[in-house]
């Protein structure tokens, strides 16, 4: 158990729709990030939030957006869904701490299928 929980575990959406995925970080963790993992590939970094502000982003378009709340929970929003957005979406959290190499813990992910 990593203490990182995600919901929903599975969902199906239609092309053009919008989706919101949720993540509850491990208690005390101040940094949360989101990854996309297409079938047969490694996870790809989408973005991360630190103290409720986005402070790092991978090569994903603006229709991928997020929020981090004061209790360190987080949401990933994807607008105008495309078929290629079908993937496992992973949330990861950590406590940013210099000099010790912080440990990043992942949730079990949310499987999104776009039809």
Partner 1 sequence: DAKTTQPPSMDCAEGRAANLPCNHSTISGNEYVYWYRQIHSQGPQYIIHGLKNNETNEMASLIITEDRKSSTLILPHATLRDTAVYYCIVRRSYNAGNMLTFGGGTRLMVKP
Which of 58, 86 has the CB closer to partner 1?
58
Residue ranges in contact with partner 1 by CB under 8 A = 2, 4, 31-33, 42-45, 48, 50, 55-56, 58, 88, 90, 92-94, 96, 98-109
Q: What's the closest the beta carbon of residue 70 comes to partner 1, in angstroms? A: 18
Q: What's the closest the beta carbon of residue 43 comes to partner 1, in angstroms? A: 5
State the sign of the Cα–Cα–Cα–Cα dihedral 45, 50, 56, 60.
Answer: positive
Q: Classify residue 89 as exposed, middle or buried by CB count within 10 Å of its CB (0-12, 13-18, 19+).
A: buried
Q: What's the closest the beta carbon of residue 56 comes to partner 1, in angstroms? A: 5
Asked if residues 56 and 63 have their Cβ atoms less than 8 Å apart, the reply is no
């Amino acid at each position: 158990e990593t203490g990182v929980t995600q919901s929903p575990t599975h969902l199906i959406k239609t092309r053009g729709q919008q989706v919101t995925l949720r993540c509850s970080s491990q208690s005390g963790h101040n940094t949360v990030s989101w990854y996309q993992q297409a079938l047969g590939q490694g996870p790809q970094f989408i973005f991360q939030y630190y103290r409720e502000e986005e402070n790092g982003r991978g090569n994903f378009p603006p229709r991928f957006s997020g929020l981090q709340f004061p209790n360190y929970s987080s949401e990933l929003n994807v607008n105008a869904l495309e078929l290629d957005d079908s993937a496992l979406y992973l949330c990861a959290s950590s406590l940013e701490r210099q000099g010790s190499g912080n440990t990043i813990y992942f949730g079990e992910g949310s499987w999104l299928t776009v039809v």
